[in-house]
Amino acid sequence: MKIRVKIFLVMMSVVIIMVGGFAITNSVYLEKFYITNKKEKLLQVGNAILDPNYIVDFRNLEMQNNAEIVIKKIDQLDKFYFRKQLTVDEIIQIKKAFKEGKPTFKIITFKDYRGKALVLFMPYKTNRYIEILTPLSLIQEGLDVSVQYHLQIIILALVLGLVIAFIFSKAMVAPILEIKEITQKIAKLDFSRKFEQKRVDEIGELGEAINKMGDTLKKNIDEINKVNAKLRIDIENEKELDKLRKEFIAYVSHELKTPIAIIQGYAQGLMENVATEEDKNFYCEVIVEEAYKMDALVKELLLMSKIESGYFKMECTVVDAYSLIMDLIEKYSTQDSELIYKGDTCVDVIADEKYLDRVLDNLISNAIKYGTDDKIVTIKVEDLKDKYKFIVSNKTHNLTEKDLETIWTPFIRLESSIGKEGHGLGLAIVAGILDKHNSEHGVYLSGDNVVNFWFDLKKAPKDLTVDEISEDIEEKDGEKRVFL
């Protein structure tokens, strides 16, 4: 037998074995591997949805995992029986797994576009479960295309000559495989791989064209991502503004309704001479008191509006913070409260004196108002080289770390403040003023349920006069800031 025939037969045998092995692998192992891998990914998706620390974006999860995610009531499992997609025993098995907190996989055939699909049933909350579905049609399509492709390559190779293909296959296939890997990565939006072989033939030109295509796609996708990110931010900001607008209208309507009704009632009583001479002074006092409350609320709302809109202006100078603290201690020191100061007697900072007084006044008055029965408030000032750190501390009732997350938010009032005067704007205004001072600030719990509000301010350099500071004040975005 001629060696050419032997080579042909050997190559034919190798080809048949390879095709047979490939077909078996595709039809048996690959499908099992795909399903096993898909199950692991679906479990990861389900665990991510159940994780309370994970912000769930169902649309993104569905796109990334080529899946359909639905939260249903457990009673809806019976629909699979009525559609003859699951048996009664299978449904009972799934419900039993839910009681044990275990997920269950089933392969179900749908009559719509989904066809044969892998479905994960995972318990979610009381009387609900998560249904995550991914079609299996893609693996079958991949298998069919793969078999057809390899058969065509084999037939073409046999026609052109097995010997020529054997001699030149390595030289020709290597760059093509590299280009294939590059294009596969590009298909997955991975542009890190480049065609680096220095060739002057068509393959080299193709590789260079693919490199340019990848660079262009990367640039365009980056620009699209930037635009999408900006668009998402704009949409979220618009939603937040709309939410704040509705909350603002509802809050103001609620807060002004009561004093307006009281003023109307007492004013009408005065007009109709319902009150006696002795009661008229009381009526007038009530009207004036409610008017003061309305005026205070409106002023706080206007100040909050200026802070949020960027029209808030400050005039920073050298401020003796110690004197401000001492004045407030004298103001609030009564038989029912004890204020303790810890720190230096010289605390000169760069700030707007009026608004710094507002910050300290608000924090100290809140500490007295919401403190425990002993009414002990500690004001501490720490020297941090180029800054001073101010800490206002008091014991409080049942305040938790979760409460601290929203304590700076406008119109938010905690349970501990129910029954006490206030509008929920004080701490929001404090935060706004401190932000305008470029001051870091925060709140934390320590010890035996002690709440500590803190902020820092830049030290005023020694021997610096107000005039020298004024020369360093620069107008920027409608605000006066000090640059030293």
Domains and CATH numbers, the chain: 3-140 (no CATH), 239-309 (1.10.287.130), 317-482 (3.30.565.10)
Q: How confident is the model at residue 341 (pLDDT cuts 50, 70, 90)?
A: very high
Report pLDDT for 21: 66
pLDDT digits (tens, 9 = 90+) for 142-192: 556 665 665 566 566 556 555 655 565 556 667 777 788 888 888 887 877
Q: How confident is the model at residue 85 (pLDDT cuts 50, 70, 90)?
A: confident
Q: When comparing pLDDT for 470 and 230, which is higher?
A: 230
Residue 333 has pLDDT above 90, yes or no: no
pLDDT digits (tens, 9 = 90+) for 95-142: 899 888 899 999 888 888 778 888 999 998 888 899 989 888 766 665
3-class SS string, the chain: CCHHHHHHHHHHHHHHHHHHHHHHHHHHHHHHHHHHHHHHHHHHHHHHHHCCCCCCCHHHHHHHHCCEEEEEEHHHHHHHHHCCCCCHHHHHHHHHHHHCCCCEEEEEECCCCCCEEEEEEEECCCCEEEEEEEECHHHHHHHHHHHHHHHHHHHHHHHHCHHHHHHHHHHHHHHHHHHHHHHHHHHCCCCCCCCCCCCCCHHHHHHHHHHHHHHHHHHHHHHHHHHHHHHHHHHHHHHHHHHHHHHHHHHHHHHHHHHHHHHHHHHHHHHCCCCCHHHHHHHHHHHHHHHHHHHHHHHHHHHHHHHHHCCCCCCCEEEEHHHHHHHHHHHHCECCEEEEEECCCCCEEEECHHHHHHHHHHHHHHHHHCECCCCEEEEEEEEECCEEEEEEEEEECCCCHHHHHCCCCCCCCCHHHCCCCCCCCHHHHHHHHHHHCCCCEEEEEECCCEEEEEEEEEECCCCCCHHHHHHCEEEECCEEEECC
